[in-house]
Structure 1
Amino acid sequence: MKKGRLELNIIAMALFIGLLFLFRITFDSYKMKILNLCGIYIILGLSLNLINGFTGLFSLGHAGFMAVGAYTAGLLTMSPAMKEMNFFMKPIVPFLAEVEWPFFPALLMAGVISALMGFLIGSPVLKLKDDYLAIATLGFSEIIRVIFTNTQSLTNGALGLKGLPIYTNIWWSWGAAIFTILFMVFLIKGSYGKALKAIREDEIAAEAMGINLFKHKVMSFTMGAFFAGIGGALLGNLLGTIDPNMFRFVLTFNILLIVVLGGIGSITGTVISAVVVTVAMEALRVLDETINFGFVTIQGIPGMRMVIFSLLLMIVILFYQQGLMGTKEFTWDWFFNGKGFRKTLKKEVK
């Protein structure tokens, strides 16, 4: 089995790309948007899992890094004419007025600026632990949102940015998602990944083994912020409009939900959970509307979607306290051996 893993990976990748081609042909615009959101939330879930799951830090500032990435890519990709239409209350700063970049360099710059913000925020904040770290990162996230709301000449303030070019498609979102998955796999399997896990399990023991706690924490926080910026940029150029209210704490909570549901410290779990949660949130919208079965009509109840979704989450967490995958990962041996899957489920139930 070990000798054929590379071949199996290549075959699986080819089949998945073929599946994306099929989806692109058969899905309508609404379903394609959901599929794009699945890829984006995989990126966001993995970036938060790197910080919270693999390093053991409790960060609640992801929405702030997403905002930085979304605004950076948005301002760099908008045409000068569209910027002039958006910034009618106060002119945009001169050094951005005539700038119009292709999407790929703008996407990379969004990640770099977010990573820089992560480094600047993480350097002083990561000396805190547990609840204090969570409060501090949440505070910085809100500070970023408030700054974006009040910098009229840079971000257009509370009005936000409208008419962003719709560059994000299935290849951008899922290409970035696949890259993020591969990056996470190689990172966690390497020496840095082992060091991050050691910090998560016992900081004192990790430091005694010669691991530089501050360096690895800042590195993890910065890389998580980078991918959060990428995810925010993809989201902004998918929706075509952004404003500061999009990046409230609720957005961080949704990403944290994906991480916890899939399993804190599991790449596979985050990928599965991101797809399931994104699709379920849209599929359950039918509960908010009137349903006609022909022989009976059921009146929809606004908000029922979230009630049912919350109940389903409670049921899953009751049976799988460590999430769907716990800390387990997908392997081909596990796939071809049904017993391995059953053993994993039994361990999680216990």
Structure 2
Amino acid sequence: MMEALSQFWASYSNLINLCLLNAFIAYGVFLALSANMFTLGTGGFMSLGAYTSVLLTMGSDAPFVVALVAGGLVSACAALLIGAPVLRLRGDYFMLATFAFTEVVRVLALNLESVTGGAIGIMNIPTKTETWHYIALLVVLIVLIRLFRRSHFGLAVAAIKSDDVVPQAVGIDVFRYRLSIFTVSGFIAGLAGGFAAHMNYFIAPGDFGLARSIDALAFPILGGVNALLGPILGAVFTTTLPEVLRFSSQLREILMGALIIGVVLYLPGGMYSLLSFSPSALGKIGRKAAAKGLAAPNPAHGDGA
């Protein structure tokens, strides 16, 4: 039994750690979405946290915890600085602004070769991230978010998500609340960047680009933006799906895209809604589909009948 567990861990430890890392990233975006902020800045914040922590551990021999916190604080300061002007934008303009921030950070990392190693990146990073780090921080983060959602601050943020006009009319400073959430989201992304850097031995500017930001946004949306465990479900689903679909390397991306589209179209509440799915709900969906089928016109009895 122990030998089987050892073999399983040797084969899938990297995948498990990646799932936990992505779940941690997902909760940072989950907080931003709780204030109705669809951000594409996660990659930029992760990049700042990753490079800051690596430069401290490799260049200054700083303790791992100090380097992680420093990376998170640098990302939080960046979120605070760009949040002041960016949060005055709405909808697509806000997403474009956060995407531009991620691209600016990526280009800077490419050109500051003396600091970041340029396109080659930084290699031989000491491995300091362990699985229990992810598990412990995820538990703490979930507990804190649960307490946050029940607090006065969390209730105000929930009201802002529904409609920011009414809360502002009753005296709630919508901008301050959103800026606070955006800053905390940046801090979490910075911590995640530090963990990722000390797990993979190597970092490069391309590791924290638009693709990373889109994946981070997809995790909580696919899992369920209103469910506390939604980010974990979305992260695990999105991370393990390519491994499950390895039987068809050519069609893997197509199948993965089709499955994600299916989740978005038929599970508006995310994958978490499957946990509360009941046979009666299935029967209701079946009856609706049958009703639509009966109501559809028969091509054999068209205008020429």
| TM-score using structure 2 length | 0.86
Pick aligned residue for 1:163 from 87, 108, 124:
124
After superposition, the C-alpha distances for 1:62-92 in whole angstroms (9 at most, x for unaligned) are 10001111111111122xxxxxxxxxxxxxx
Cα pair distance change 1:204/1:149, threshold 3 Å: same
> Residues 182, 166 of structure 1: CA spacing in aligned structure 2 closer, same or farther, 3 A cutoff?
same
Q: Which residue is 2:74 aligned to?
A: 113
Task: Identify the residue that residue 153 of structure 2 maps to in structure 1.
Answer: 192
Q: 1:344 to 1:231 in 2, by over 3 A?
A: farther
| Distance in 2 between residues matched to 1:129 and 1:51, nearest whole Å | 14
Is the alpha carbon distance of 1:23 and 1:272 closer, same or farther for their aligned partners in structure 2, counting shifts above 3 Å?
farther
Which residue, 33, 37, 46 being the options, matches 2:18?
37
Separation (CA, whole Å) in 1 of partners of 2:139 and 2:5: 17
Q: C-alpha displacement at 1:286, in angstroms?
A: 3.1
Q: Does 1:50 align with 2:50?
A: no
Gapped regions of structure 2 (runs ≥ 5): 289-305
With over 3 angstroms needed to count, the CA separation of the structure-2 counterparts of 1:207 and 1:24, relative to structure 1, is farther
Contact 1:63/1:252 (<8 A) preserved: yes
2:49 to 49, 69, 72: 69
The reply to whether residue 240 of structure 1 matches residue 176 of structure 2 is no
SS at match of 1:142: helix
Partner of 2:86: 125
Find the aligned partners of 1:220 and 1:229 in 2 and give their Cα distance: 14
- How far the C-alpha of 1:236 sits from its partner, in A, is 1.1
Choose which of 305, 311, 321 in structure 1 pairs with 2:252: 305
For residue 268 of structure 1, report the CA deviation from its aligned partner. Answer: 1.2
- 1:24 deviation in Å? 7.5
Q: CA deviation at 1:173?
A: 1.9
Tell me by how many angstroms 1:343 deviates.
Answer: 9.0
Q: Structure 2 counterpart of 1:50, which letter? A: L
2:266 is equivalent to residue 342 of structure 1: no
Cα deviation, residue 219, structure 1: 0.3
TM-aligned CA deviation for residue 59 of structure 1:
1.3
Residue pair 1:77, 1:100 contacting (<8 A) in 2 also: yes
Selected match of 1:252 from 210, 213, 217: 213
Whether 2:276 is the aligned partner of 1:315: answer no
Contact preservation (8 Å) 2:38, 2:217: no
Does the aligned pair in 2 maintain the 1:36–1:174 contact within 8 Å?
no
Identity of aligned residues (%): 31
Q: Alpha carbons of 1:68 and 1:170: their partners in 2 closer, same or farther (altered >3 Å)?
A: same
Q: Could you tell me which residue of structure 2 aligns to residue 86 of structure 1?
A: none
Letter in 2 for 1:67: S
Distance 1:344 1:24 in 2: 39
Separation of aligned partners in 1, 2:157 and 2:111: 37
Mapped pair 1:208 → 2:169:
yes
Q: Structure 1 CA distance, aligned partners of 2:269 and 2:263?
A: 10
Aligned residues: 284
Q: Residues 74, 317 of structure 1: CA spacing in aligned structure 2 closer, same or farther, 3 A cutoff?
A: same
Q: Structure 1: which amino acid aligns with 2:191?
A: I
Gap regions ≥5 residues in structure 1: 1-20, 79-96, 289-300, 331-339
2:12 alignment partner, SS class: helix
> Does the 8 Å contact 1:24/1:32 carry over to 2?
no
Structure 1 residue 321: Cα displacement = 2.3
The 1-side partners of 2:156 and 2:77 are apart by 22
The alpha-carbon distance between structure 1 residues 132 and 198, as it changes in their structure 2 partners (threshold 3 A), is: same
Cα drift, residue 27 of structure 1: 2.9
Distance 1:268 1:345 in 2: 21
Kept in 2, the 8 Å contact 1:61–1:137? The answer is yes
Question: Which residue does the alignment assign to 2:100?
Answer: 139
Displacement of 1:282? 2.1
* Counterpart-to-counterpart distance in 2, 1:250 and 1:46: 17
TM-aligned CA deviation for residue 154 of structure 1: 1.7
Q: How far apart are residue 267 of structure 1 and its match? A: 2.1
Amino acid at match of 1:263: G
Deviations 1:86-143 (A, max 9, x none): xxxxxxxxxxx4x111211111111111111111111111011111111111101110
2:181 alignment partner, SS class = helix
Among 60, 65, 68, the alignment partner of 1:104 is 65
Determine if contact 1:64/1:145 at 8 Å carries over to the other structure. Answer: yes
In 1, Cα distance between equivalents of 2:279 and 2:176? 37
The one-letter code matched in structure 2 to 1:29 is A
Q: Which residue of 2 aligns with 1:27?
A: 8
Partner of 1:280: 241
